[in-house]
Structure 1
């Protein structure tokens, strides 16, 4: 335990949690004020799915480029630069023009893209071997922290000020994080090498690593499906709760926040259990099965039904669908060749988080053509079940 509490372990992991939590909050800001932003942009609320897709496409692409910058400048400096992109993104988003919509999403993706590879790079370098699954899971609490903050704060800020002010405040917080990280940068980036090559062929190495390693490829495909369920929570849960179930925005945002908030606890206790009490791949499989069941229940939930049951459903969904990602990255890093954890993580993001690029636009198209969020959630529920059984069937 004393190895885990060493300052050289705690400080960089805590910094990464803050960084990724803030970029995640920025990514969820639109989906937690959909009607207000849509009115400002004069577009359908379902276009939150398009915005999410652009962000993730950019994040996945940009994530392929980080091996060289990490080696030459260090993971901390690379993340600081990424945060500046994120702060700029939130300011541009308030302009409410088509070009602002696209440019903001691209810059926000550039801010978020390096965060998971940075986590793998740092944890594999400083984390004690026996505590790495826990540290990966702990680092990933940044995602539900960001989601919970968005769910709790954005609707309130929108109702008390304006959606533009909410975006500017988030951008200010992201910029502040980049500045206060500077005193810790030198120690955190001790492994940087000013002569490290920024080779063009590094761009393809992460994809090649995943494609050539059968188990990594298999769990990345399963993760693609299960993260597709997550994409629908991020992009459409609040809209569904407001439009179909009939909740007020702040109460829908509270359920969104509960789902993300409780998954913070899930990522900690699942990290402790993983490979100590239960195999990590079993946790991944059961998470998919429970996720599928939750989506099927949500799809059949009656308008005006019990708010407390919705809260319970949000908590269960948060534990199952939002609590497992750190363990997935732990498995990828464990299966990667020695010294290639960051590259394997970046490559696996392309396969797994590619669902954030594909699923939200398809869901948006489905809703615009069919007009039903409920049947869309039913389909997503079946996909969640399939992902769970696939995780359970992979052998390595």
Structure 2
């Protein structure tokens, strides 16, 4: 059995971290293939590219539903086996996409959404078992860089393949990579799944019962809902805001957005290191929530008269905070959970996080449609950030679980 205490890292922590990061990256890359190749896919189907873009919302919707049961499944089958299932779903989903029909793409969406909903609860179990608490924030944060890494993989690999061959070629490459990963995971499977409980059952509301039993996890999850809403509001509207309100060219706006993503990657690791240095995650989450709110207020005040350096500075700062909270947040969820409940607690809060992913952009779109003003619409993410601060504060008022993994 691996060392489960906080008294030093198990030698397998590097293998666990690199594996869970790669699984996260591969799953994220698969999810981003359709948005990346939207013009080509829409053209081959004879539909509007905007309709293809709706797939992202459906993916997160299925991931949210899957999260309700993912915790129990990880306990029953083991974290490594569950990761293998996720990779097989990626391979199957990308393989079905090769049929090249709208119905095939719909089935692909379902399978990839289910896969994504399984990855984080499985990774949480492995990372909690193998990582000493004093390094947990930075380790979780490094693992969460798998999400933007998946975006980089999709962005660099898919368009060239689509130009040289066809858009189906990108799906084939990801499918093959997922199959190879599934086989490779069989090597450590017996060791990594030694803690699985074959008697665990998936029933009823699944992991959501944690939100009813554990109030501190519920309040923490609501904080995650708000911060996810801020993050997706930034990513969904940054380019449109720069082009329509600030009159920045589309190409330059896209370049700025790529740097915003990069700031998010750096921020995830930086804030994880800061939390480990402090020995506490909540103060870092407080600071991130306050920063998100203030930055969105400042961004809302930008105009065509604002110098480009100020626009870039504020957006990069927003990327380094609004995209960078995830690792510290998930580490705090693990710290506040019993070791036997890490997967279910993670799955439960991710249901709320995915709700925030869906609700944030939708609500900002609604305000934008009513007012026609990004300045007004961006006050909503600022309000979400303030609400996150409140939920996090309420979470700290709850008594801790004496059996928690931290």
Q: Same fold (TM over 0.5)?
A: yes
Q: Please say if 1:89 is aligned against 2:93.
A: yes
For the 8 Å contact 1:64–1:206, the answer to whether it is kept is: yes
For 1:187, the equivalent position in structure 2 comes to 191
Which ranges of structure 1 fall in alignment gaps of 5 or more residues?
none
For the 8 Å contact 2:138–2:269, the answer to whether it is kept is: yes
Q: 1:354-394 deviations in whole A, cap 9, x for unaligned?
A: 22233345556666787776654443343234324543564
1:151 CA drift (Å) = 4.9
Alignment of 1:1-396 (within 5 A): 3-4=8-9, 6-41=10-45, 42-43=47-48, 45=50, 48=53, 50-93=54-97, 97-151=101-155, 154=158, 163-192=167-196, 196-201=198-203, 203-238=204-239, 245=247, 247-248=249-250, 251-274=252-275, 276-277=277-278, 279-299=280-300, 301=302, 311-363=312-364, 376-392=377-393, 394-396=395-397
TM-score by length of 1: 0.82
For the 8 Å contact 1:32–1:154, the answer to whether it is kept is: yes
Q: 1:241-295 deviations in whole A, cap 9, x for unaligned?
A: 567655445x555444333333333222222221532742221122123223444
1:344 CA drift (Å) = 1.0
Which sits farther off after the overlay, 347-356 or 23-32?
A: 23-32
For the 8 Å contact 2:71–2:346, the answer to whether it is kept is: no
Task: Mark the CA change 1:291 to 1:89 in structure 2 (over 3 Å): closer, same or farther.
Answer: farther
Distance 1:177 1:233 in 2: 32
Distance 1:28 1:180 in 2: 24
Task: Mark the CA change 1:223 to 1:26 in structure 2 (over 3 Å): closer, same or farther.
Answer: same
Task: Mark the CA change 1:315 to 1:40 in structure 2 (over 3 Å): closer, same or farther.
Answer: farther
1:27 CA drift (Å) = 2.5
Task: Mark the CA change 1:153 to 1:235 in structure 2 (over 3 Å): closer, same or farther.
Answer: farther
For the 8 Å contact 1:138–1:268, the answer to whether it is kept is: yes
Distance 1:294 1:365 in 2: 21
Distance 1:102 1:161 in 2: 23
Distance 2:171 2:307 in 1: 32
Task: Mark the CA change 1:306 to 1:188 in structure 2 (over 3 Å): closer, same or farther.
Answer: farther
SS for the counterpart of 1:137 is: helix
Which ranges of structure 2 fall in alignment gaps of 5 or more residues?
1-5, 398-406
Distance 2:330 2:288 in 1: 15
Task: Mark the CA change 1:219 to 1:73 in structure 2 (over 3 Å): closer, same or farther.
Answer: closer
TM-score by length of 2: 0.80
Which sits farther off after the overlay, 36-45 or 327-336?
A: 36-45
1:320 CA drift (Å) = 0.1
The alignment covers a number of residue pairs equal to 390
For 2:400, the equivalent position in structure 1 comes to none
1:240 CA drift (Å) = 5.4
SS for the counterpart of 1:190 is: coil
Distance 1:297 1:179 in 2: 49
Task: Mark the CA change 1:96 to 1:298 in structure 2 (over 3 Å): closer, same or farther.
Answer: farther
Task: Mark the CA change 1:24 to 1:376 in structure 2 (over 3 Å): closer, same or farther.
Answer: farther
Q: 1:171-229 deviations in whole A, cap 9, x for unaligned?
A: 44334333333333333223345xx125243x535212122322221121121011012
1:101 CA drift (Å) = 4.2
Cα-Cα RMSD = 3.5
Distance 1:103 1:236 in 2: 28
SS for the counterpart of 1:199 is: coil
1:145 CA drift (Å) = 2.1
Q: 1:103-148 deviations in whole A, cap 9, x for unaligned?
A: 2221111111111111221122222233333322232222232234
Task: Mark the CA change 1:73 to 1:339 in structure 2 (over 3 Å): closer, same or farther.
Answer: closer
For the 8 Å contact 1:293–1:385, the answer to whether it is kept is: no
